[in-house]
Structure formats: C-alpha cells, structure tokens
C-alpha cells in the first residue's frame, strides 16, 4: 500500500516536473525540488530521459548533489559523473559520510579520488581506509564508523554529561557501544535504559550483553537476515579479534533487501538491476542480444529433437497438436519448483542437509499433480481424437515431464549452483533458460557466476581498491574519559 502510494507520488511529480521544465523557469524547478528528499530526487532523475535529466541535475542544490549521487543506480550515476568537472565532483563529495563516500568512490575518476584523499584529514582518511578494506557486500563494507562508545566502569551520570557535552549523536543511534580500553566490544547500552535507570548505577550494571557483534566479513544478506530475525535497529560490527569497528543501521539493511529483490527479479530475464531504463537503444539491444541468442539456441535444440520424430508426427498429427500441452505443463511445474527453491535459498532455508528431503517432497507433489491432470488430459484427448492409445501416451508424457521438471531443478540448485566447488556448472547454469545467477550471487566466486558492471576498482570478486588493502585497523572512537 505504501509502495503504491510512493509510485503514484513519483508519477505526479514527474508530470508536474515535465510541465515546469517545458514552460517554467529554473527558479520554479528549484522551488519544486526544495521540499524533496535526495532519494526522491534520485527517483526523478532515474525516471527522466537523458536531456531532461541533465537539465534537472544542473538545477539541484550542490549541497545535496553528493547525497543524490549515492541514491541513483550505478549507470545513471556514471552518466552524471562523466559530465562533471573534477573540482565540482570534489566539492559535492567531500562532505559525504564515510560509508556513503566509500560506496561512491569506485565510480569516481582517478583524479577526483586523488584530490579527495589529499583534502581529507588523517582521521577521515583512516576511517575511509577501514571501510574500503572490506568488500562492499559484507558487514564491513556496510558499516558506519560514526558511533559513540563508553566504558563499562563509568556511571550513567557521567555518560549523560558526556552526551550533553557532545551536543549531537549520530543518526539512528538507539544504543551506545560499550568497549574496554583496547576497543574490545563488550555490549550495548540502550538509550532507553540510560534515560530510565538510576544515574548512580554503572554502565556494567545495566548494559545489555546479549547483543552479539557481527563479524566484518559476514555477507550483507546474512546481516539483513539477522536484522529481520532479531528486530534490530542497529548492530555493532567487530573484527576477528573482537574489536569494535563500527555499526550497521537499519537504513543500510533496507537498501540491501531492496537490491537483493531487484537482482533476483531482473536476473530472471537476464537483465541488470543497475541498468538505466533510458539508456540508448543500441546499448540496451546489445545487452539483450546475448540472452536472446542463448534462448534461440535452446529453441533450435528443442526443434532438432522434435525433428528426430518427424516421420512419427506425419503419421500421427494429433501428437504435434498436443505437444504444446505437455511442454506448457512441464514449464509451469518447473517454475513453481524454481520459485520455491529461490525463496528457500534466499532465506537460507535450503542447503545440503535438507535438499534430499525437499527433492522427495517436490517429486511427490509432481507425481500427485501428474496423476490428476494426466487423467483429465487423457479423457479429453480420448474424446477429442477417438483414440485411447493417444490419450494414454499423452498422459504418460505429462507425468514424466512434471516429475523430471521438479526433480531436475531440485537437484541442481542447492547442490550445484550454490556450491563453490562447481563454478563451471554454475556459470553454464547462468546462461540456461531459467534464472541466471539468481542464487550464485552470494558465492565466493561471484565474478565467474554473475559479474557486475565493472567500475574503476571493480575486479571479479568486487573487492575494494588495492590502494586500501592494508591490515585492518579501526579508527579510535570517542569515549567517555
């Protein structure tokens, strides 16, 4: 309901914006944009063709252009960055938060990166280095370094006085992180507990020790699952030694969930979720041509198999008439099993321990449906063509097709596609007629299974710039004296 309302609002804004761009003045456009969030402006940019998009981009307040760049998809961002001068890019990105800048950095030209690094102070450079030392699809790549830490041996009154002295706290802060003198994570101090407990009590007496830190190497989809299962607003991120590195907040997790959903949906058609819908026709045609070519090859293969039985089909024309029924029913059964498998893999419910049980269950479902519908088809075919033999043949073919469709998909997906021991199989499955790379994205060899659009520093494993591949060290966070 909310999503539908947002789509309607975006369409209304587009209509108003189109009228203003054609007949209004620049001041009217700026006035229209003043009340919008950077994410809403990003939606408008993605929804406009190139020329109106360039005009709108020039009219956006430079104070928020950097935030807007972090919200648009990769291809639109690359187009906007390409037309900007180095000095302008440095000006709009130097005020970004460290985690947002890390996400944006790989799309920036080398000269801009050089200028940005030289304009940073030592602390911010260390923070950026800490985030960039982790792949972007891990907890370390998602984390925000702006956190408030306290010691366990101080009183709540000291913590309150310290917060008043700070004046502000980072956005989406629901808890303070408790660490020792060596920055080892010990627990969290919820703000609700801080405000309602005795000021003379120590942090150690009231802090929550049940919130475990998330390893920096944890995959982003696993982080999203933790937030969903535990109803978290924020969570600490720690390294392999238990030192506090930063925190992940719910807004970043929502982005991960949305990206995963877009990726799975677009991959079903062999498309990229970061593509610009208004990209030049020749670019879009080139991207889709490969997928169409692969499907054409499989169609010719199916036609060749049918051609092997050409003599039989000439003698019994009814078989040619009824073949689409068998193929259609098998395709639908396969899609049903495929949907169950994709959802189970995405939620972590399917693995080697339960794949056999799921296979048996899906085969049983296919056999039951096959028996029911084959009987229906046999009766209709017998009445239609006045031949019990043809009815029996089509019924048997339908049962075999349904069982094979379910069992083949169940066997291949959990055991083959998501196993790092078989990248070749998964790369071939990526180009099959089903869902390319939908579950392979989380594998360690993602570069071979589903390569992303390469950026300036984007090799096959989507690692961060080699410039920043140094021993992991967390910046020192503010703490209560």
Kindly give the confidence (pLDDT) of every residue in the chain, 481 residues in length, as a single tens digit, with 9 standing for 90 and above: 445 545 556 667 777 777 666 666 777 778 778 878 888 888 888 888 888 888 888 888 888 888 899 888 888 888 888 888 888 888 888 778 877 888 788 778 888 888 888 878 777 788 788 888 888 889 998 898 888 999 999 999 999 999 999 988 988 899 999 999 999 999 999 999 999 999 999 999 999 999 999 999 999 989 998 998 888 999 999 999 999 999 999 988 998 888 887 777 777 666 776 677 777 788 878 878 888 888 889 889 988 888 888 888 887 888 888 888 888 888 888 888 887 887 777 666 777 777 788 888 888 888 898 899 999 999 999 999 888 988 899 899 988 888 887 776 655 554 444 433 333 333 333 333 333 333 333 333 223 333 333 333 333 333 333 333 333 333 333 333 3
H or E element at residue 149: strand 149-151
CA-to-CA distance for 9 and 227, rounded, in angstroms?
A: 29
User: Token digits for 423?
Assistant: 């990248």
Do you know the residue count of the chain? 481
**pLDDT tens across 220-245, in order?**
989 998 998 888 999 999 999 999 99
Instruction: Quote the pTM value.
Output: 0.63
Q: How far is CA 333 from the centre of its chain?
A: 27
Distance separating alpha carbons of residues 194 and 198, to the nearest angstrom = 8
**Which residues does 370 contact at the CB level (< 8 Å), separation at least 6?**
398, 399, 400, 402, 403
Tokens 């360039």 belong to 54
**Helices of type H across 316-351:** 317-346
Instruction: Give Cβ neighbours of residue 368 (< 8 Å, ≥ 6 apart).
Output: none
Domains within the chain, CATH numbers bracketed: 2-134 (1.25.60.10), 149-262+464-468 (3.10.580.10), 281-449 (1.10.357.20)
Helix, strand, or coil (residue 437): coil
Note whether 139 and 215 are within 8 A (CB).
yes
Helices 355-385 and 317-346, axial angle in degrees (round to 10): 160
Angle at 403 between CA 398 and CA 406, to 5 degrees: 125
Using alpha carbons, list the distances in angstroms from residue 443 to 1, 344, 348, 458.
Answer: 34, 16, 13, 17
């Amino acid at each position: 309901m909310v999503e539908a309302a947002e789509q309607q609002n975006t369409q209304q804004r587009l209509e108003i914006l189109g009228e203003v761009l054609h007949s209004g003045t620049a001041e009217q456009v700026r006035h229209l944009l003043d009340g919008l969030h950077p994410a809403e402006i990003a939606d408008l940019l993605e929804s406009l063709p190139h020329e109106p998009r360039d005009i709108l981009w020039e009219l956006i307040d430079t104070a928020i252009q950097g935030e807007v760049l972090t919200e648009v998809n990769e291809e639109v961002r690359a187009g906007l960055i390409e037309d900007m001068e180095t000095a302008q890019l440095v000006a709009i990105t130097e005020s970004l938060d460290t985690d947002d800048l890390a996400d944006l950095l790989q799309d920036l030209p080398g000269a801009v990166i050089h200028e940005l690094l030289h304009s940073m102070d030592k602390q911010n450079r260390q923070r950026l280095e800490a985030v960039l030392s982790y792949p972007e699809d891990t907890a370390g790549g998602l984390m925000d370094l702006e956190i408030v830490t306290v010691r366990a041996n101080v009183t709540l009154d000291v913590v309150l006085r310290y917060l008043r002295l700070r004046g502000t706290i980072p956005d989406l802060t629901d808890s303070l992180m408790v660490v020792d003198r060596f920055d080892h994570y010990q627990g969290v101090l919820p703000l609700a507990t801080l405000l309602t407990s005795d000021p003379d009590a120590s942090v150690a007496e009231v802090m929550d020790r049940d919130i475990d830190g998330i390893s920096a190497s944890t995959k982003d989809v696993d982080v999203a699952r933790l937030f969903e299962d535990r109803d978290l607003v924020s969570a600490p991120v720690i390294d392999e030694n238990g030192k506090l590195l930063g925190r992940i907040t719910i807004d970043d997790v929502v982005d991960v969930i949305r990206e995963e959903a877009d990726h799975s949906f677009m991959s079903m058609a062999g498309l990229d979720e970061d593509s610009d819908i208004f990209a030049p026709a020749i670019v879009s045609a080139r991207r889709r041509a490969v997928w169409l070519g692969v499907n054409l090859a499989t169609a010719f293969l199916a036609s060749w198999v049918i051609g092997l039985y050409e003599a039989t089909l000439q003698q019994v024309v009814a078989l040619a008439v009824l073949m689409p029924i068998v193929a259609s029913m098998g395709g639908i059964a396969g899609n049903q099993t495929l949907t169950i498998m994709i959802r189970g893999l995405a939620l972590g419910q399917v693995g080697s321990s339960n794949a056999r049980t799921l296979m048996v269950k899906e085969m049983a479902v296919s056999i039951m449906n096959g028996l029911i519908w084959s009987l229906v088809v046999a009766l209709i075919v017998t009445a239609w063509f006045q031949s019990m033999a043809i009815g029996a043949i089509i019924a048997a073919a339908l049962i075999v097709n349904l069982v094979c469709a379910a069992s083949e998909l169940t066997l291949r997906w959990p055991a083959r596609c998501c196993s790092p021991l078989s990248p070749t199989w998964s790369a071939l499955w990526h180009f099959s007629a089903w869902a390319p790379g939908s579950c392979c994205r989380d594998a360690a060899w993602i570069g071979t299974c589903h390569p992303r659009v390469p950026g300036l520093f984007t090799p096959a494993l989507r690692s961060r710039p080699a410039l920043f591949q140094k021993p992991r060290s967390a910046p020192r966070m503010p703490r209560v004296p």
